Structure 1
Amino acid sequence: MENLEIKTNIQIGKPIEEVFEGIVDPAKMSNYFIAYGSARLQSNAVVTWQFPEFPEQFTVKVLEVRAPELISFEWEGAAGQQLTVKMRLEALSPGTTLVTITESSMPNNEAGIKWLKSNTEGWANFSACLKAFLEYNINLRKGAFDFMKKP
């Protein structure tokens, strides 16, 4: 049975360098994805992220950053599972960037299918929020997941 892998794409109407900075800079990322990031994403760094909806912090082990086309890291993408995320950026024109995100991999079983559904939704949301922030300076995430906050 083949392992499961997530793959999402989105086109953003901004130059590749601007999209790259929007992902690696925690001050920018806090406008659409995280509430807090301990440092920039750079090769071999260990970064802590906190999301607005959850009190827990998440450790991100950055594997490789190659400006402006690749960001790769490991994190606990599923309970007890360290998974690899790769964000590839491709300039389609001077003002347009294609962002492709993959996360891998989980077995093709019940736990893997649950992960596939949840994290595919998450990366699609990340992509839409990144686009809204970079193109229109809108934070789509603000308040969107308040219902998930623990009382």
Structure 2
Amino acid sequence: MRQDAVERAFVVGGDHVGERVANRLAAAGESVTLVTRDPDEQGSSRDTTGHSPWAQSVELVDSIDGHSLESAGLGRASTVLALDGNDATNLLVAQLARSRFDVDRVLVRVNDPGREPAFEGVDVETFDTTGVLADAVIDQW
């Protein structure tokens, strides 16, 4: 791990997937920052009682770019999870996390399986959401 990195996960992409992952990591005791462009995602998760039980940091940014991610503190992350609903955004986050911020571990959501080859040279871990969902449906069958 880089000397300036802390054991902190940065979840970039505040849609339902990013928010749920951030909340589950925080509930498991991880230190998590959710970086989102959507002000409605700031602490909007609720448990069955209507409370938001997880302590997590939320950074609202105007855009997903190098400056915004640096201001949000991404340079201190040990792990980045690029979970936006847009593959181009996830690719940009992955490239910045690796090349500019030298993050130890980068996990990336790939929404369109046809775009997975674009991530091959970036040295990140990818998961194909279409394949994951298809597997879950078949497992339930």
TM-score (norm 1): 0.28
Which structure carries more strand by proportion? 1
Greater relative contact order (Cα < 8 A, sep 6+): 1
TM-score (norm 2): 0.29
Which structure carries more helix by proportion? 2
